[in-house]
Amino acid sequence: MMIYQSIEINKNRLILVKETLFSGQSFMWNESDHEGGIYSSVIDGSPVLIKQDNPYSLSVSVKKNELFGIPVRRFFEHYFSLDIATNSLFDDEFAARYPDLAFRLLKLQGLRVLRQDPYETLVTFMCAQGIGMSIIRRQVNMLCRYFGNEVRVADGGRDTPLYSFPAPSVLADADPALLRRCCNNNSMRAGNIGEASRLLALGRLDLQALSDPSLPLSEIRTELTALKGIGFKIADCIALFGLGRFDAFPIDTHVEQFLSSWFSIGAHQKGLSQKRYLHLQEKAVELLGESLSGYAGHHLFHCWRTTEKNMKAF
């Protein structure tokens, strides 16, 4: 039996491991109940343990030498987007115009936007429509427990089960009643997830093709919103967190609120039409710059929730 190997990941970039894993972009990571500062998940069918060593370094324990055919160190450098210089997300002009906010954002420079599996991200955010993060996490956990594969991990000396994210073919053929139960008893959501999974399993939906960085965001959004249950916000979340499109700027209630409160962009109203969504998005991109507007937006989102609203649940 192959033993765990521990690999240090250090690219001389600030990284906040816990804040990154629990900032509302991924719901597959679990914090150890037995040993503080240890986080576990399943990637490419293998259990993975992560801990923060210092502000610039983390250690990864994994049994494989490669994940998805990529050497482990390189995989996690890419996964945690350590190629992105987060200290350049907000320029000097931004700091001069919004000094108090810029000071708060300094403490979040280590917040990373993850490059996650496209299918996992698609299903996760299809589970995220109009509900809180604790319910999203519960749905994802149930999908993994009932439809994924169990793997065992030594957590604080205890043998603990983890569950992989299910394959598209599995959810495509899932029992409708059980899938509905995993989707917060929402029949429509379960049906939409099943249908998207079938399209992917049949090759009629190609998420890897949508990962092509040369594709216009509008084209990606058009392809994704053609799926039942996906609107502009969910499509942009999938693009940002699952397709590596850091120029995608999703807008939900929290984003709408901070655009209004911090930057006087729009006035908060109930409901968000497509026209208004695109208008707010255009103004946000003008403020933050195009190439990393979504990355910067996630920093603002996390800052708003944690420092303005004092919200703890992720």
User: β-strands 150-155, 158-163: how paired?
Assistant: antiparallel
In a domain, 54, yes or no: yes
What is the CATH classification number for the domain harbouring 18? 3.30.310.40
Structural domain harbouring 44: 7-83
Residue 27 maps to a domain: yes
Largest CA distance in the chain: 59
Residue 207 lies in a domain: no
The mean per-residue pLDDT over the stretch 190-208 comes to: 97
Tell whether 37 is covered by a domain. yes
Has residue 312 got a pLDDT over 50? yes
The predicted pLDDT at position 175 comes to 97
CA dihedral 7, 11, 14, 17 (to 10 degrees): -30
Q: How many domains in the chain?
A: 1
> Is residue 176 a part of any domain in this protein?
no
pTM of the model: 0.95
Question: Is there a domain that residue 66 lies in?
Answer: yes
On the question of pLDDT at 313 being above 70, the answer is no
Residue pair 279/257 in contact (Cβ under 8 Å)? The answer is no
Q: Each residue of 16-70: pLDDT tens digit?
A: 999 999 999 999 999 988 778 899 999 999 999 999 999 999 999 999 999 999 9
**pLDDT higher than 50, residue 1:** no
Q: Which two tokens stand for residue 202?
A: 């049949």
* pLDDT at residue 3 tops 70: no
Query: Exposure pattern of 200-215 as b/e (b: 16+ CB <10 Å)?
Result: bbeeebebeebbeeee
Average pLDDT, the chain: 94
61 domain-assigned: yes
- At 238-294, the pLDDT tens digits run 999 999 999 999 999 999 999 999 999 987 676 789 999 999 999 999 999 999 999
pLDDT at 299 over 50: yes
Q: Is 184 contained in some domain?
A: no
